[in-house]
Structure 1
Amino acid sequence: MQLFRTAALLLAAYGTSALPTKSADLVERQPGSKIVTAHFLVGIAGSYTASNWQQDINAAKEMGIEAFALNIAKQSTDAFTPAQLALAYNQAQNLNFKMYISFDFAWFVADSSSVAEIAGYLQTYAAHPAALKHNGKAVLTTFIGDNFGSNWNAVRGQVSTPLEILPNWQPNNVQNNAVVDGAFSWHAWPNRDNDPIAGPLTTSADQAYLSALGGKTYLAPVSPWFFTHFDFTSFKKNWIFASDDLYVTRWKQILALAPPIIQIVTWNDFGESSYIGPYNSGHSDDGSSQWAAGFPHDAWRTLGKPFVAAYKAGAKSPTVTDEKIIYWYRPHPKGLTCSDPLERPTGADYAQDKIFVATMLTSPGTIVIQSGDKGPVTINVPAGITLSSVDMGVGTQSFKLRRGNCDVISGTGGIPVAGSCSRYNFNAYVGELSPSSSCTPPPPPPPPSGQVCNQGTGDGNFVGLCSFSCSFGYCPEGVCRCTSWGAQNPPPPETGMHGVPLPGEGDGYLGLCSFACNHGYCPPTACMYA
């Protein structure tokens, strides 16, 4: 069974020693049609059935993914590889899906045996009806393998189908190199020579590859997360890369860059917590169930779908047709000391103790987020996809989307944030909430002519402010709910002392604190005098 990549191999793939250290943003958009693919580890799918392949292919197609990059090891490592490749390609053909092979050079080496095995697979599958084609050639890629070099010429000589070879080599190894047709970057997370660094991810790696390729095909990565926590006999694989806002940030970069092909990294690498595919029973457990079981990432497919459509259409921003709240957070604060035989992961300090919410809206609204023992936070959000965050609190996580007096979406997170831990888990729990069939509470009737609000309420920390302000005719929609109209109640005299929200409170408090404090009511849990 294929297991894990060593730290040295990861350094070769993720390291940035050949990349510029200066951060910059890409402005060049690459022409032509666009292809969306996802990285699939065959090494944990040795027991896959046709039904398992069908489930994954259909889930990928629903998001707009067109092909899997099938990561394989040598047959001497994974004896099931030939059977699973045949099953994967045949199911793909049946479902109008595509496949291409990603040769994992943690296992292949630069020798005649690897040349023969690679050529044998490509002779069979490059001509398969389900083979992914680009520029009229069958696509293939790798994980690392820079030292394979000109052996690719020998492979081409043994394969009758034209190949587009896009290896995961460092930029300096693909520059002016006639052996390859392009390159794939594995630089999908913020790092420096594979050491975790603070986010966000920049486009410096993309720029280095584009410069080195000089117009050849660039296969760009997209990833949502990275955390791994293995304790092997010979070494430890135990770190995180800053991933909190990575998924949305990277999709925006992809829309600006518009490379010809992208690879979502990954579909099913549960060991590195980068998966967006379903955590199904078909895969084998490499030990990652300790942090991946019970931590679905499926909602990231929902969030990614409008970005995929925008990328294929050449748009600069996604269009939302189905409203959702997508949320993600870790199961415990980063500062906890867990009763774990393996130490806290490297890079843990770069994680943010935040609850992240991506709103997918067709029109503006207000979200109300309450994280555990923290007070509710109200944020006004526009139409489209917007990423917001609030400070993490221990306990239940609750989310609402409100318009006027209507809670369009309302629900709680799938797990609470814990105040203690037996094992360090920096994986993300990802969930989604959809609009309910009816709003609670229903909107009140419009006020009779000449009458004003004279009684109202709000949720959580807004109760006191809304009750006071609504009684005197000031009852802002989206934050407060008016429950009665009538004659204007004279407000208390103005004090001339205007209030502002406490630091960290949302914009929903601005008008309420200003009005209430100026009339003598300035609750210390929400407002302070300016």
Structure 2
Amino acid sequence: MRSATSILAIAMGAACLRAAHAADVFAHFMVQNSYSYEQSDWENDITTAAGIGIDGFAYDYEVGQLVTAFSVAEQLGFKLFFSFDMSYSWSSDDMVALVQNYSTSSASYKWNGDILVSTYSGETYGESFWADFKSTLAGEGITISLAPAFTSYRDPDDADSLMSNFTSINGFFNWWSWPADVDANLTTATDLAYQAIVKSDRTGPYIMAVSPWQFKNLNTTDNDWVEYSDTLWHYLQAIQDVQPDIVEIVTWNDYAESHYIGDINPKVNLGTYAPNYVPKFTHGAWRNVAQFFISWYKNGTEPTDDQVVFWYRVWPKDTVCCCSLEPRNYEFPEDAIFAIALLSEPATIQMNIGSSASSWDAPAGHSIGSVPFPTEDAQIPRCGRGLCEH
């Protein structure tokens, strides 16, 4: 199965509302995909992100690009905060040095006057590691607000134990923006439980993750999966139910996991297997949807808009390719084209593909529909030289 998405947008005019805001939106930036970046690449990514209302990037770990990234962000009024990928080996001293070096940058994002620091994972390092990290920085005159994504904390019933086990953390980032290996839509249960405990006990931000997709196919038994994502980008509406302090889009540029909303930078080395399902699959139109919901989140009013954005996988889920293993949950995706309508007034949306047709009565605002793949199409990729051709 090849579950990469192809996205097209039919734009019929847009008029998103703009105003001062009291909420911030970040996109998770995989800095290991910026090894070959020059200043112009940073300028392009930051300008594109800011253009849809994103306030900054959560920056994971590539030290070699820090100077350029912060310099460009300072020039463009963009924000950055460290989100340490703790699945790699980190020493507290190295992390302290990085935060300290950029603590005075105008691009360093602050939560209530304190430098925000987040993570991917890191609970296995233990409470003493994080307490020492914070106290060492405090000894240097730097106060941080620590809001990690401790990824083993997903069950709503574990929210209390998170706080009792980690007394040093100030907030929390719920990384889980996809369903957990189930053929069902994501719910807000985890967000609401952890948000409640943060607000009752700590002073840091509650960060809610949102994501458009989750698919990875790197030809290994433990690294090939797809989560139910067909309507996941419409889950952006849940921001209104949760009202988090910060929204973090996962991701701007994680190409291998297929949830990137930034443009594909041709300089990036995609490795061995991601080139089979990333090149030419532009996800830029997902930014149209993001802009709509970001504006709503920041301004408190659903925007007036008129556009339809649609996306689809280019192969049926039962397609067998000669070059990779069957990804976990391959049976979850539907063989269909999906569309989000963002409308200023009610309309009937008609979708047709071959002999397959579908329609729905769309209200003003946002709604979603789909049309199945036509059964008469033999949509089977050609395989050659061990790789499936596009």
With the shorter chain as reference, the TM-score category is 0.7 to 0.9
Cα deviations across residues 91-113 of structure 1 (Å, max 9, x unaligned)? Answer: 0000010001111111135xxxx
Q: Counterpart in 2 of 1:462?
A: none
Q: Which amino acid aligns with 2:269?
A: S
Determine whether 1:320 maps to 2:304: yes
Deviation at 1:252, TM superposition (A): 1.2
How far apart in 2 are the matches of 1:222 and 1:422? 34
Determine whether 1:157 maps to 2:135: yes
How far apart in 1 are the matches of 2:254 and 2:287? 15
Cα deviations across residues 53-86 of structure 1 (Å, max 9, x unaligned)? Answer: 01110110011000100111xxxxxxxx333011
Cα deviations across residues 317-360 of structure 1 (Å, max 9, x unaligned)? Answer: x2133x22200011111123x23232221111111112111112
Helix, strand or coil: the match of 1:289? helix
Unaligned runs of 5+ in 2: 1-20, 154-158, 384-390
Q: Counterpart in 2 of 1:190?
A: 179
Determine whether 1:139 maps to 2:121: no
Deviation at 1:151, TM superposition (A): 1.7
Q: Counterpart in 2 of 1:57?
A: 46
Deviation at 1:144, TM superposition (A): 0.3
Superposition map of 1:59-74 within 5 A: 59-72=48-61
Helix, strand or coil: the match of 1:219? strand
Cα deviations across residues 361-402 of structure 1 (Å, max 9, x unaligned)? Answer: 222223221123x2443433222221111112268xxxxxxx
- Alignment CA distance shift 1:418-1:203 (3 Å): farther
Q: Is the 8 A contact 1:331 1:418 kept in 2?
A: no
Determine whether 1:37 maps to 2:40: no
How far apart in 2 are the matches of 1:319 and 1:209? 29
How far apart in 1 are the matches of 2:43 and 2:161? 38
How far apart in 2 are the matches of 1:392 and 1:236? 30
How far apart in 1 are the matches of 2:30 and 2:321? 31
Q: Alignment length, in residue pairs?
A: 347
Q: Counterpart in 2 of 1:46?
A: 35
How far apart in 2 are the matches of 1:291 and 1:210? 36
Q: Which amino acid aligns with 1:254?
A: I
Deviation at 1:184, TM superposition (A): 0.8
Q: Which amino acid aligns with 1:310?
A: W
Q: Is the 8 A contact 1:45 1:284 kept in 2?
A: no
Give 1:306's match in structure 2, choosing from 272, 292, 306. 292
Q: Counterpart in 2 of 1:229?
A: 217
Superposition map of 1:23-34 within 5 A: 33-34=22-23
TM-score, normalised with respect to structure 1: 0.63
Pairwise CA RMSD of aligned residues?
A: 1.9
Deviation at 1:418, TM superposition (A): 6.0
Give 2:85's match in structure 1, choosing from 99, 104, 110. 104
Give 2:346's match in structure 1, choosing from 358, 364, 383. 364
Helix, strand or coil: the match of 1:54? helix
Q: Which amino acid aligns with 1:419?
A: Q
Q: Which amino acid aligns with 2:213?
A: W
How far apart in 1 are the matches of 2:253 and 2:322? 25
Cα deviations across residues 224-276 of structure 1 (Å, max 9, x unaligned)? Answer: 000000125xx541110000011112x11111111101110000001100111
Deviation at 1:209, TM superposition (A): 1.3
- Alignment CA distance shift 1:312-1:236 (3 Å): same
Cα deviations across residues 4-52 of structure 1 (Å, max 9, x unaligned)? Answer: xxxxxxxxxxxxxxxxxxxxxxxxxxxx931100100011211111100
Unaligned runs of 5+ in 1: 1-31, 73-80, 396-416, 424-530
Helix, strand or coil: the match of 2:115? strand
Q: Is the 8 A contact 1:332 1:418 kept in 2?
A: no
Give 1:347's match in structure 2, choosing from 329, 342, 348. 329
Q: Counterpart in 2 of 1:332?
A: 315
How far apart in 2 are the matches of 1:378 and 1:227? 28
How far apart in 1 are the matches of 2:79 and 2:378? 42
Identical residues among aligned pairs (%): 30
Q: Counterpart in 2 of 1:479?
A: none
Q: Is the 8 A contact 1:64 1:309 kept in 2?
A: yes
How far apart in 2 are the matches of 1:393 and 1:305? 31
Deviation at 1:214, TM superposition (A): 4.2
Cα deviations across residues 139-183 of structure 1 (Å, max 9, x unaligned)? Answer: 111110002222223222332321111111224553143301111
Cα deviations across residues 194-223 of structure 1 (Å, max 9, x unaligned)? Answer: xx2112101121133124424332111000
How far apart in 2 are the matches of 1:363 and 1:136? 42
Q: Counterpart in 1 of 2:226?
A: 240
Q: Which amino acid aligns with 1:340?
A: C
Determine whether 1:123 maps to 2:104: no
Helix, strand or coil: the match of 1:55? helix
How far apart in 2 are the matches of 1:102 and 1:231? 28
How far apart in 2 are the matches of 1:236 and 1:156? 34
Q: Counterpart in 2 of 1:477?
A: none
Helix, strand or coil: the match of 1:158? helix
Determine whether 1:386 maps to 2:375: no
Q: Which amino acid aligns with 1:319?
A: P
How far apart in 2 are the matches of 1:189 and 1:341? 26
How far apart in 2 are the matches of 1:241 and 1:68? 24
